[in-house]
Amino acid sequence: MERPQIVFVHPDGRRETHSVAAGETVMDCALDNGVAGIVAQCGGGCTCSTCHCYVDEPWLALLPEMVDDERALLEYVWEWRHDSRLSCQVFVTEALDGMVVRLPERQQ
C-alpha cells in the first residue's frame, strides 16, 4: 500500500494533502512538509500545545483515546473543541489514509 495521506485544511479553507509513513505522527507529516499552523515547539514531546489541530469525523472515532498528558495540555489551547487533538499524539496508520485535519485560527 502507498503511504497514507493526510489532508490539512487551513482556517481560510485552503487544503493541502501530504503523505506520511505509517507509524509517524500527523505532526511529523506537517513539519516535514512545511504546513503552516503546526508550530510544534517541543518537537513532539507532548509538553506544549503548539501542534493543536481538529480531527474530522469519522477519523476522530478511529483514534485511540488520549493519554492523560495530552488531555491536560489541551486545557490550554486556544479555541478547544470536542475534536481537538495534539498532532504529535496522532500516530498515522493505514486505516487513517485520507484523514482530514483542520488547523486552528491561531496557535499559542
For 48-97, the pLDDT digits (tens) are 999 999 999 999 999 999 999 999 999 999 899 999 999 999 999 999 99
Confidence of residue 107 (pLDDT cuts 50, 70, 90): confident
Confidence of residue 2 (pLDDT cuts 50, 70, 90): confident
Count of H helices and E strands in the chain? 3, 5
Distance CA 72, CA 47 (A): 10
| pLDDT of 53 | 98
Distance CA 81, CA 42 (A): 22
Half-sphere exposure of 11 (CA within 13 A, CB side): 9
| pLDDT of 108 | 53
| pLDDT of 1 | 58
Q: Is the dihedral of CA 39, 42, 46, 49 positive or negative?
A: negative
| pLDDT of 85 | 98
Kindly list the structural domains of the chain, giving each domain's residue range(s) and its CATH number in brackets, ordered by start.
Answer: 5-102 (3.10.20.30)
| pLDDT of 17 | 98
**What global pTM score does this model have?**
0.94
Q: Kindly report the CA angle at 26 between 38 and 50, in degrees rounded to 5? A: 30
Task: Let me know: does 46 contact 88? Beta carbons within 8 Å.
Answer: yes
The residue-averaged pLDDT of 23-33 equals 97
**Eight-class DSSP state of 18:** E
